[in-house]
Amino acid sequence: MCKDGDSMSFSIKVKKEIVNLEMTKIESISLLSAYLRNNSIVLEDCIIINTENLDISSFIFDKIRDLYSITPFVSVKKTFNFKKNLTYMLKINNKKDIILKDLSLINDKGYFKNIPDEYIYEDEEEKMMYLKGLFLATGSINDPNSINYHLEFLIDDYDYAIFICELLDSYYLNSKIIERKNGYVIYIKEAEKISDFLKILKSNECLMNFENMRIYRDQKNRINRINNCEQANVEKTINSALKQISEIDYIEKVVGLESIDNKLNETAIYRKKYPEASLEELSKIISIETNKKVSKSGLNHRLRKIRAIYNKIRSGN
């Protein structure tokens, strides 16, 4: 069974909220079933649980003591890695088989059960508790300030991973499985679905923070898209105007602007006078300065005629 070890600050906050929730005895059993299934070592005479999270360690200690009237042995050791974290070990020496059967982790013959009996997760509250226990043991969520949204669980067995996906997708969370060297990763990448999962966990404070950050990022992305679109439109307008001016200059150089229709001549003069104006802006300028109503579509029609003249001259006609 896997060992949990999540150093991500947002995940730790979510887990802290979970362990502070009120729960019934039956709900506690569902949560413990998932947690021990994914983060414990079962030896011949004891159960060992390791975690770097003090809140989870204290929570599991209290639940085992309250449910089974035994006191787990607790030890603390410093891990020899760059993080210099403490690891909390709970050792359950008594009632091992009673606890494992109660949590549906072994059958009557003492053999390991890969998937728990239905009573562990059949009711809605028990199913949510099972997912809470799973997240405490092996779940992580990217900090909402990071570039990508990502929720994942590391699972040690494919059939069990399928079972977890079915639980998750009963809430329409659209979970996916990918195989890794050390097991199977179940992941969810859609921000809305991760938000829904936080609702299942009843991690209300973290949900609010996640939603606020998601709204901020979505708004920021929307503004960036608008700015990019506006910039693209400005560049398109300028490039189009420069091309029109180039065509007008060519006509003027070869045959002279006086050789073309008066309206086209007028349009050519104003196009050169206001090179950065859009068609809509240029039509308004001409209308105001000449006292002759010129629509945007009418101006566009004139410029197309100028282009046709340019093409004829270029082709020698």
Torsion angle of the four alpha carbons 305, 308, 310, 311, in this order, in degrees rounded to the nearest 10:
170
Kindly report the pTM of this predicted structure: 0.67
CA-atom Rg of the chain in angstroms: 34
- The pLDDT tens digits of the residues spanning 253-269 come to 888 888 888 888 888 88
Q: Which of 239, 309, 304 is nearest to 278 (CA)?
A: 239
Q: Which architecture, in CATH terms, is 9-202? A: Roll (3.10)
> How many other C-beta atoms lie within 10 A of the C-beta of residue 129?
28
Q: Identify the residue with better confidence: 229 or 253.
A: 253
Question: Using CA atoms, how far apart are residues 30 and 134, in angstroms rounded to an integer?
Answer: 10
Between 64 and 282, residue with greater pLDDT: 64
Please give the average per-residue pLDDT across 86-95, as a whole number. Answer: 90
Beta bridge partners of 296: none
End-to-end CA distance of the chain: give it in Å, rounded.
84
- With 90 as the cut, is the pLDDT of residue 206 above it? no
With beta carbons less than 8 A apart as the criterion, state whether 4 and 57 touch.
Answer: no
Residues 6+ apart with CB under 8 A from 23: 31, 129
Neighbours of 191 (CB within 10 A): 20
Per the DSSP assignment, residues forming a β-bridge with 177 are 186
Q: Which part of the chain is CATH 3.10.28.10? A: 9-202
| DSSP H or E run through 271 | helix 262-273
Starting at the earlier edge strand, list the strands of the sheet with 41-42: 41-42, 47-51, 86-92, 73-78
Reported confidence tier of residue 137, pLDDT bands at 50, 70, 90 = very high
Is the pLDDT at 5 greater than 60, yes or no? no
